[in-house]
């Protein structure tokens, strides 16, 4: 029996590898590697690339990035890394060039080794905390020690005209209010209060959100409005403070997944990409880093090897996995190849940057390749659609014709299963056509392309000339 053709023209659901195939929606994908679903809603487009801006200390991990803006408009960029010497120390480097480009010079030397420095702009200065060394403030030319500021302070946040800083042990310290001229504190007094200190959990981050300070520990979250007695009504937290990112709501990583939190309880949002989170190294839980742009949040989780014999890509290793969540469409895609150990979003130009484990700083969403000076790495685009069974999953069909409509050149793979996708045809001039005969219960279709210029775009899949076979077949 000749069946009515099937057309798929909406792929806005993103990747979904948590549910069974029978529960997947037609607009979802079982595999979505290095693609963007927001350039054209409903279509699939290869992601944009990245470009190296500079090298801080070659071979030494970039521990943090920051930007300082003085009231007169003076702007400087800062990065943190070990100095690479035989007996290393952590240094803060400064750069006057925009976009984290140009040459880096040491600005503050010989801090404790391999400890991230966290920054906060306040009172026309840049404050630097690392939880060990004396707190420093930068005024545009020199660093000075901040009187009475706690050396144990690590996570700073500005709130209610004061500078707050949280220690790993759970003490929240805060300065006096800012003075009338706006360039310092009214007095040098610092006060502290405990947030269930020394409760067996490590404090991981403090961030201002919705008129409160939100405090993250390993397995709890507190909200402090400056007067209330905060309690951990939320019994989930994070192992990595760098995984906390604010893009309207708060997003963060926990060993059970990635969560979104507004004014209420955290909501697990990562089930669609749970396969990657379940197969990441637990040693990376403390290293997960999160960034953002105007409509996405990004989570670097490291290398992932799929270890599940029931998954089509069992045994496959994906390098430097970045999980990408669009906050408006609420869908996921998966990037590879970005060694993003720390992120910075520049509010003034809408650009996002990341620092690598080898001392390099890259800008994302630029061009259509990953460019490291003179070395160009092609982007590996892969997509696998939900296997097509024509609503008869139990019966064999004879598939004779497949159209893939879009833009640019791609390799189209078609087969009875993922392992059997031997038939291929290349898309040309916006359309690929497969004419053949494949007898199977469900048809697998995949598209791949490695590109360094114009990215692929897939808009429509049409399966036609399908014969439903009788039970004897």
pLDDT at 246: 97
Total domains in the chain come to 2
Which of 112, 2, 23 minimizes the C-alpha distance to 468?
2
Residue 299 resides in a domain: yes
Residue 167 resides in a domain: yes
- The residue among 378, 396, 413 that closes a domain is 378
411 close to 447: Cβ distance less than 8 angstroms:
yes
Same domain? 135 vs 20: no
Rounded CA gap, 338 and 341, in Å?
A: 9
Residue 112 resides in a domain: yes
Name which of 187-201, 224-238, 354-368, 372-386 the model is least confident about. 224-238
Rounded CA gap, 174 and 10, in Å?
A: 51
Give the other-Cβ count within 10 Å of 76's Cβ.
17
Each residue of 312-364: pLDDT tens digit? 999 999 999 999 999 999 999 999 999 999 999 999 999 999 999 999 999 99
Same domain? 150 vs 24: no
- Which residue range(s) make up the domain with 34? 2-48+382-468
Same domain? 140 vs 259: yes
- The residue among 378, 410, 432 that closes a domain is 378
β-bridge partners, 126: 121, 138
Same domain? 244 vs 170: yes
- Range 222-240 average pLDDT: 92
Residue 10 resides in a domain: yes
Same domain? 217 vs 265: yes
Tokens of 364: 């994302």
pLDDT at 430: 83
Per-residue DSSP letter, 98: G
216 or 115, which is more confident: 216
Same domain? 57 vs 195: yes
Element (DSSP H or E) covering residue 275: helix 274-278
Same domain? 209 vs 133: yes
Same domain? 298 vs 374: yes
Each residue of 240-299: pLDDT tens digit? 999 999 999 999 999 999 999 998 999 999 999 999 999 999 999 999 999 999 999 999
Element (DSSP H or E) covering residue 54: strand 50-55
pLDDT at 471: 63
What is residue 251's three-state secondary structure?
strand
pLDDT at 362: 98
Q: Judge whether residue 212 has pLDDT over 60.
A: yes
Same domain? 400 vs 338: no
Computed over its alpha carbons, how large is the radius of gyration of the chain? 25
Cα angle 83, 88, 89 (rounded to 5 degrees) comes to 70
CATH number, position 87: 2.130.10.10
Residue 140 resides in a domain: yes
Rounded CA gap, 54 and 102, in Å?
A: 6
Each residue of 49-105: pLDDT tens digit? 999 999 999 999 999 999 999 888 889 999 999 988 888 899 999 998 888 999 999
Q: Judge whether residue 473 has pLDDT over 60.
A: no
390 close to 6: Cβ distance less than 8 angstroms:
yes
Rounded CA gap, 262 and 249, in Å?
A: 5
Same domain? 295 vs 215: yes
Give the other-Cβ count within 10 Å of 306's Cβ.
18
* Band (306; pLDDT cuts 50, 70, 90): very high
Give the other-Cβ count within 10 Å of 463's Cβ.
22
Residue 213 resides in a domain: yes
pLDDT at 418: 84
74 or 177, which is more confident: 177
Tokens of 88: 């290393």
Rounded CA gap, 184 and 241, in Å?
A: 28
CATH number, position 37: 2.60.120
β-bridge partners, 433: 403
Residue 473 resides in a domain: no
pLDDT at 374: 95
* Band (470; pLDDT cuts 50, 70, 90): confident
- The residue among 378, 401, 419 that closes a domain is 378
Q: Judge whether residue 472 has pLDDT over 60.
A: no
pLDDT at 243: 98
Same domain? 335 vs 418: no
Same domain? 293 vs 184: yes
Per-residue DSSP letter, 284: G
Residue 322 resides in a domain: yes
Element (DSSP H or E) covering residue 277: helix 274-278
pLDDT at 220: 97
234 close to 221: Cβ distance less than 8 angstroms:
yes
């Amino acid at each position: 029996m000749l069946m009515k053709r099937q057309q798929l023209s909406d792929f806005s659901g993103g990747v979904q590898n948590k549910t069974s195939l029978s529960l997947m929606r037609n607009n979802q994908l079982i595999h979505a590697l290095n693609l963007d679903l927001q350039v054209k809603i409903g279509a699939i487009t290869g992601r944009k690339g990245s470009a190296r801006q500079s090298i801080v200390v070659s071979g030494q991990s970039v521990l943090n990035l920051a930007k300082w803006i003085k009231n007169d408009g003076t702007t400087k960029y800062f990065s943190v890394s070990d100095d690479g010497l035989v007996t290393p120390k952590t240094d803060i480097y400064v750069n006057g060039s925009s976009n984290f480009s140009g040459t880096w010079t040491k600005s503050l030397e010989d801090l404790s080794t391999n400890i991230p420095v966290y920054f906060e702009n306040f009172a026309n200065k840049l404050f630097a905390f690392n939880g060990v060394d004396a707190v420093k403030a930068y005024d545009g030319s020199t660093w000075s020690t901040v009187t009475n500021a706690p050396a144990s302070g690590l996570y700073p946040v500005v709130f209610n005209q004061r500078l707050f800083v949280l220690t790993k042990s759970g003490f929240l310290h805060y300065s006096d209010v800012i003075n009338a001229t706006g360039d310092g504190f009214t007095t040098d007094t610092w006060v502290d209060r405990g947030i269930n200190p020394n409760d067996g959990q490590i404090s991981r981050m403090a961030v201002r959100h919705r008129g409160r300070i939100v405090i993250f520990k390993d397995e709890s979250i507190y909200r402090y409005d400056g007067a209330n007695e905060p309690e951990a009504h939320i019994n989930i937290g994070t192992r990595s403070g760098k995984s906390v990112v604010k893009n309207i709501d708060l997003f963060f990583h926990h060993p059970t997944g990635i969560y979104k939190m507004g004014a209420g309880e955290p909501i697990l949002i990562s089930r669609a990409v749970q396969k990657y989170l379940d197969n990441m190294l637990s040693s990376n839980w403390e290293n997960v880093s999160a960034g953002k742009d105007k409509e996405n949040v990004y989570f670097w989780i490291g290398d992932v090897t799929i270890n599940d014999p029931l998954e089509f890509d069992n045994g496959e290793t994906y390098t430097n996995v970045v999980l990408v969540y669009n906050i408006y469409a609420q869908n996921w895609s998966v990037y590879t190849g970005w060694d993003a150990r720390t992120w910075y979003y520049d509010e003034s130009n809408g650009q996002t940057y990341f620092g690598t484990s080898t001392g390099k700083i890259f800008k994302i969403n630029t061009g259509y390749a990953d460019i490291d000076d003179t070395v160009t790495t092609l982007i590996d685009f892969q997509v696998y659609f939900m296997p097509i069974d024509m609503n008869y999953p139990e019966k064999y069909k004879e598939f004779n014709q497949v159209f893939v409509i879009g833009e640019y050149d791609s390799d189209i793979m078609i087969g009875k299963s993922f392992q059997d996708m031997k038939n291929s045809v290349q898309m040309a001039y916006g359309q690929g056509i497969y004419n053949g005969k494949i007898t199977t219960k469900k048809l697998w279709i995949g598209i791949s392309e490695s590109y360094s210029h114009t990215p692929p775009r897939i808009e429509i899949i049409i399966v036609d000339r399908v014969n439903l076979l009788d039970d004897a077949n």
